[in-house]
Amino acid sequence: MRHDGGMASTHTAHPERPDHPGERAAEDPIALLAVRDTPLSLDEVFKAVGEDAAGGTALFVGTVRNHDGGADVARLGYSAHPTAEAELRRVAERVVAAHPVRALAAVHRTGDLRVGEIAVIVAVSCPHRAEAFEACRMLIDDLKHEVPLWKHQTFDDGTEEWVGAC
């Protein structure tokens, strides 16, 4: 609902210009994709999805939490299959095909990470916020389900376990 009590419109802000290029996906909106063993940068990802035609940018940051399944986590080690970046590109292309994406970025860390460190950042810019949220959720969910990345958890008590990316 609008602040004046009326119902919000689901149409573009300017119905007389529904075909404005800013309402459509960009020609090549995939700005940044990487699987790497160096620390990830929020600034790098946010700059990569900067787009004047976007009215909304959604960003998700996944960090190493200090617990899992009732046990205290000491650290995680992420590893990736050699095809991980190619699979990440396929996921990104599907997100772009499903949403009016103006810019998209996704980076995932490999190697050893401590509690609190950033493991993954995804960001999507779209003409409107709802589209950006939907596209960002699809991007992180599909990345977690389809890109061949695995984590090796080490707990404070010395026990370890391998976990699929989901």
pLDDT for residue 129 is more than 90: yes
Q: What is the pLDDT of residues 94-128, one digit of tens each?
A: 999 999 999 999 999 999 999 999 999 999 999 99
Output the pTM of the full model.
Answer: 0.84
Beta strand 103-109 with 30-36 is parallel
Q: What is the pLDDT of residues 57-106, one digit of tens each?
A: 999 999 999 999 999 999 999 999 999 999 999 999 999 999 999 999 99
Q: Which helix (H) or strand (E) holds 89?
A: helix 84-98
Q: CB neighbours of 123 closer than 8 A, spacing ≥ 6?
A: 45, 46, 48, 49, 57, 58, 59, 60, 103, 104, 105, 106, 136
Q: What is the pLDDT of residues 17-57, one digit of tens each?
A: 456 666 665 679 999 999 999 999 999 999 999 999 999 99
pLDDT band of residue 7 (cuts 50, 70, 90) is very low
Classify domain 28-164 at the CATH topology level: Aldehyde Oxidoreductase; domain 3 (3.90.1170)
Strand partners, 45: none
Q: How many CB atoms lie within 10 A of CB 56?
A: 17
Residue 164 confidence (pLDDT): 75
Domains of the chain, residue spans: 28-164
